[in-house]
Amino acid sequence: MEGTTQRRVELYVRSLAPCGTSTEQNEIVERLRDLERRDVVDDVDLTVWGDAVCLDGASATVGTGRHVADRVREFHSWCGDGRTSLDPFFTWSTVESSLSGDSFRRVVLPQRCLALYDDGQLQEVYPRQVDGAVESLADGVRSLESATNGNADPSLAFEEV
């Protein structure tokens, strides 16, 4: 990899083998691993993050729960420029327990999410909207591929956001 920039890619998924999407998910992982083999990125990490997280709950203070909660906060802070939004891919809601009467805010997470870091600084998050235009996870992978070879691989089959 040219220069001294350390580039890391983090892929977040709801499950390692979701119904009907494992082929697409495997393709995403293989493309990211290929970018790693070609020294386009230095590291590829995969985290299973479930379907929702309560950022203020006890489970968001330890282990993977803390990692996921920290990343969700970081992603939302990153898009504070007014042009970029993670809506509707990260959906916030208030949930009220019929048993305890307590309420809490949670965020429903996308099926998949890609984050790109350069030297530890968040640079990109997919899926997202920029100036109202949707940019999918596939767009993020294509962007990484095109940065190295001048054009994206047209065989990239997955198109979900």
- What confidence tens digit (pLDDT) does each residue in 117-147 have? 999 999 999 999 999 999 999 999 999 998 7
Residues 26-84 have pLDDT tens digits of: 899 999 999 999 999 999 999 999 999 988 888 889 998 999 999 999 999 999 878 99
Residue count of the chain: 161
Please indicate whether residue 48 or residue 157 has the higher confidence score (pLDDT). 48
Where residue 111 falls among pLDDT bands split at 50, 70, 90? very high
pTM, rounded to two decimals: 0.84
Q: Using CA atoms, how far apart are residues 90 and 110, in angstroms rounded to an integer? A: 6
Q: Give the end-to-end CA distance of the chain in Å, rounded to a whole number.
A: 29
Residues 29-38 have pLDDT tens digits of: 999 999 999 9
pLDDT at 156: 43
Summarize the confidence of residues 94-106 as an average pLDDT. Answer: 85
Closest CA to 76 of 66, 64, 89: 89
Q: Does residue 22 have a pLDDT over 80? A: no
pLDDT at 129: 96
Element (H, E) at 9: strand 7-13
